[in-house]
Amino acid sequence: ADGYYEYITSECVYSTSDYSDMVYLLSYSYNKDVLLQFNSTVGKFVGLTEFGVINAERFNKDQAYLQQQKAAVDRFCRHNAQIIDSSVRDKA
């Protein structure tokens, strides 16, 4: 199965119940190699390959897109963690 595989993953990482340590990670990958990643703690895209560096610079210049990713820790991560955590706690 020859071919190319490009994908984007979003992760929310946290270990405290008040979500104070929550981090949002957005990774752009190609054929299992992570090219670039946004980290909400860092607040910008970081390139991990030569091609990733070029695209990280491009994404970091787009202030609207960068602000959207910075807000994802609240809009996407905390929102969903509260829903999921409350349903798990109710079952315990």
Residue matched to tokens 């992760």: 11
pLDDT of residue 1: 58
The enclosing domain of 26 has a CATH number of: 3.10.320.10
Mean pLDDT score, 19-28? 96
Mean pLDDT score, 75-92? 82
* Whether residue 34 has pLDDT greater than 70: yes
DSSP state for residue 18 in the 8-state scheme: T
Per the CB < 8 A criterion, the answer to whether 9 and 64 are in contact is: no
86 phi, psi to nearest 5 deg: -65, -35
Task: Using alpha carbons only, give the angle 77, 53, 44 rounded to the nearest 5 degrees.
Answer: 35
Chain-centroid distance, C-alpha 6: 16
* Whether residue 91 has pLDDT greater than 70: no
pLDDT of residue 40: 96
The structural domain count of the chain equals: 1
Domain extent for 79? 6-90
Report if residue 1 sits inside a domain.
no
